[in-house]
Amino acid sequence: DGRAAVVGGRNLADSYFMRSDEGNFIDFDLLCAGVVVPELAAHFDAFWNSSFAVPVQALADNGLDAAARQASFDRLSSGTADGPAQPLRLPIGPMGPTALMVADARVFFDTPEKTAGQGGQPFVLPVASLLGDAHERVVIVSPYFLPSETGLERMRAARERGVTVQVVTNSLVDSDEPLVSVAYGRRRAALLQSGIRLFELSSERLHQRTPVGQSLGTSVGRLHAKLG
C-alpha cells in the first residue's frame, strides 16, 4: 500500500537467509517509512518494468506447476527438520512506531540503464559527497570496500575536521571477491595512517563470540551488507 519499504543488499538465495551449509552472507535490511517510501517505490518500479528485467521462468523452470511450487516453498521456509539448514533466529523487539528511528534519510540509486553504459552519474558520487557534510561520525559498511584516491582524500578531510570515520568490510580470508580484497589491502596502510578505523569481518571469531556466528553452524559467514 506504499506505506513502508524494506531495502537492503539481500538477494534471493539460500546463502542470504542463513540456510546454506557451505557459506552464508551476513546482510542488513532497513524497514523504512515516511517520505523516502515513494522514492524507493519509484526505484523498484524502474527496475521491475525495465527492458533488462525478465521473468524468472525465462531463466529457469523446475517443471512444477503453481500449486507444487507453493508447496515446495512452504516446506523449505518452514524451518522443519527435513528442510535445509535452519534459518537465522535472533531476538527482535516489537515492531511498531516506537521501534523506528526517526532520522533524515536520502535515497540514491543507479538506474537500470547503467547496465548498458548509460544512466548518468553513478550513485556513489553523491553518496561520497556526504562525507563533507558529516560533523561527528561516518560509518561505512561494504563487503567490497575499495576507495578511489578521491574517496580517500575525502575521508582524510573528514578526519582532519575531527570526524570519526569507521569502515566495516570483509577480511581477505572471508571475501568472495579476493581480487577486490587484494586491491583494498594496498590502501589499508594509507587508511590507517589517516586515522580511519577499519573493522574486518572474521568468520572464525564470529563463530566463537557472537549469536550470529553461532547461528551459522559450520558454514562460512561473509559480509554482504552495504550501508553508509
SS3 category, 52: coil
State the pLDDT at residue 158. 92
Of the candidates 178, 181, 171, 175, the residue with the CA atom closest to the CA atom of residue 201: 171
State the pLDDT at residue 81. 44
The stretch 33-61 carries a mean pLDDT of 87
The stretch 3-17 carries a mean pLDDT of 82
In angstroms, the CA 205 to CA 203 distance is 5
Residue 219 has pLDDT above 60, yes or no: no
State the pLDDT at residue 223. 53
Cα-based distances in Å from 66 to 61, 72, 78? 11, 10, 18
Q: Is 80 left (phi over 0), alpha (psi -120 to 50) or beta?
A: beta
Q: Summarize pLDDT for 62-101 with one digit per residue, the tens.
A: 788 889 988 887 887 775 545 444 544 444 445 554 567 8
State the pLDDT at residue 205. 57
Q: Summarize pLDDT for 102-159 with one digit per residue, the tens.
A: 888 888 887 888 777 776 666 677 777 778 888 899 988 888 888 888 888 999 999 9
State the pLDDT at residue 216. 42
Q: Summarize pLDDT for 183-206 with one digit per residue, the tens.
A: 998 999 999 999 999 998 876 655
Q: Is 103 left (phi over 0), alpha (psi -120 to 50) or beta?
A: beta
Q: Summarize pLDDT for 13-24 with one digit per residue, the tens.
A: 877 777 777 777
141 phi/psi in degrees, rounded to 5? -115, 115
The stretch 197-220 carries a mean pLDDT of 58
State the pLDDT at residue 27. 76
DSSP conformational letter for 67:
H
